[in-house]
Amino acid sequence: SRLLIGHVRKKSRVWKSRLSLYIQPSLGSCSVIMSTRRHSAHQSTGQSPQTKRKKRNGLLERLAEGPVVSDGSYCFVLERRGYVKSGYWTPEAVLEHSHAVTGLHKEFARAGADVTQAFTFAGSEDKLAAHGNTAAADFGVDNINSEACRLAWEIADQYGTLVAAGLSPTPSYREGKGKAAVQREFRAQTNIFAKHDVDFMIVEFFGHLEEMLWAIEVCRDMRKPIAASMCIGPEGDYDNNTPGECAVAMARAGADVVGVNCLFDPSTSLKTMAIMKEALSKAGLKTYLMCQPIAYHTPDVNKFGLAESPEFPFALEPRLLTRWDMHNFAREAYELGVRYIGGCCGMESYHIRAIAEELAPERGGHLGEASQKHGLWGDTLKGSTLPNVAIRYGKAYWSKPPATGRPFSSSYSTPLVCPK
């Protein structure tokens, strides 16, 4: 094992290293993870944003060739693993627990994802300081977003994935501070993303079309492809704009890819995508479509999606999608015309692997490393020494609806009223 001890120097100042020890029993070794801290501010370290890389096909070129598989959930997965604080859902883990973020990036890349999204969700300065959150003061918006990009590039350089950085809704918009204030929050992040030369921008989880358009406007200054997705269902956004109106407006504002992410399950999300597709066609707009639903069944929610569920966010496991649900979603999405396909909250690497495996024929047979340990439709179970398990392979078997094992639970719950 390697022991990393020392000081990290920044110009003429010495920044003391804070060491945290963790054990890897399977490797019989111990590793030391260092994060740098001076008083209450972390500093991003590592590879320079100006690092030269080999030229490769970008997002739009890859979409023209076939479906692009995105990665999955960061906030929810890292919260369950003990690295993100629920309620805030902010990304300071990139500095506090960088090994956890890098590990998740790697899981998605091995699963077959074409994209490594920097963990910048909820990374605006006002969000990092909202409702008593001390992340802005403790770490700083520049350090968090810069380190998020560096960690993403670390994995992208290994696996050839595209690096995306993202903007998300701001407290400044909800507080009515106006366009200039909101866009200042966005630019504080995009200035960092530009320095790290991310491959494209994702503008996601917006419930208000107006704020989405403000975000797209800022991203256009980066001269990078823009993928824009709203957290809406078939009823439209929080200001009663229909999904079709939202899609057309995003495309006309400059988004290269439009669609939905989060709050709704695959079935509901694809209904929304069908509405968007029809509206774009009627408007004569040829824009790529994207869909990144959550990993939970939500047939019983209303306009505000998963947040209305009484089980949100700590008792959602009974609603969890299986890997076979993801096979079906990927196929249905592709047949609808969606070409950027992935997952949002709750989506683990095995969900992303299922998407990649289902779409392997459309991706030139490409599979991620993780598929070496996973036979298609349970094919590896043929090698089980248990006769009753060895017969459980094939699409016919795994297409059956699974039992929940909860005899006293209800199939549906009563949605809670969610304020705007």
Buried b (16+ CB within 10 A) or exposed e, 133-157: bebbebbbbbbbbbbbbbbbbbbbe
pLDDT tens readout for residues 271-286:
999 999 999 999 999 9
DSSP state of 35: E
pLDDT higher at 223 or 377: 223
pLDDT grade for 47, boundaries at 50, 70 and 90 = low
Residue 124 has pLDDT above 90, yes or no: yes
Among candidate residues 245, 248, 249, 226, the one with its CA nearest the CA of residue 236:
245
pLDDT grade for 22, boundaries at 50, 70 and 90 = very low
Distance CA 154, CA 156 (A): 6
Residue 59 has pLDDT above 90, yes or no: yes
**141-159 vs 179-195: helix crossing angle, rounded to 10:** 40
How is residue 96 written in tokens? 């506090």
Distances (CA, A) of 250 to 51, 167, 259: 32, 15, 9
Distance CA 395, CA 205 (A): 33
Cα dihedral 68, 72, 74, 75, rounded to 10, equals 120
Quick one: average pLDDT of 99-113?
Answer: 98
pLDDT above 90: percentage of residues in the chain: 78
Distance CA 309, CA 302 (A): 9
pLDDT grade for 15, boundaries at 50, 70 and 90 = very low
Residue 107 has pLDDT above 80, yes or no: yes
pLDDT tens readout for residues 336-364:
999 999 999 999 999 999 999 999 999 99
How is residue 395 written in tokens? 């699409």
Check: CB of residue 230 under 8 Å from CB of residue 212.
yes
Distance CA 192, CA 272 (A): 33
Locate tokens 């017969």: which residue?
A: 391
Residue 40 has pLDDT above 80, yes or no: no
Number of C-beta neighbours around residue 360 at 10 A: 17
DSSP for 119-151, written as a single string: S-TT-SHHHHTGGG--HHHHT-HHHHHHHHHHH
DSSP for 314-342, written as a single string: TS-GGGBPPHHHHHHHHHHHHHHT--EE-
Number of helical H runs and strand E runs in the chain: 16, 12
- Please, what's the largest Cα pairwise distance for the chain? 68
Backbone dihedral angles phi then psi of residue 152, each to the nearest 5 degrees: -65, -45
Residue 266 has pLDDT above 90, yes or no: yes
Give the range among 51-60, 121-130, 306-315 with minimum mean pLDDT: 51-60
Four-residue CA torsion sign, 127, 73, 69, 322: negative
pLDDT tens readout for residues 168-217:
999 999 999 999 999 999 999 999 999 999 999 999 999 999 999 999 99
Check: CB of residue 258 under 8 Å from CB of residue 290.
yes
Cα dihedral 88, 93, 97, 99, rounded to 10, equals 130
Distance CA 323, CA 330 (A): 11
pLDDT grade for 49, boundaries at 50, 70 and 90 = low
Check: CB of residue 377 under 8 Å from CB of residue 370.
no
Quick one: average pLDDT of 298-304?
Answer: 94
Q: What is the pLDDT of residue 405?
A: 87
Check: CB of residue 117 under 8 Å from CB of residue 166.
yes
pLDDT above 70: percentage of residues in the chain: 87
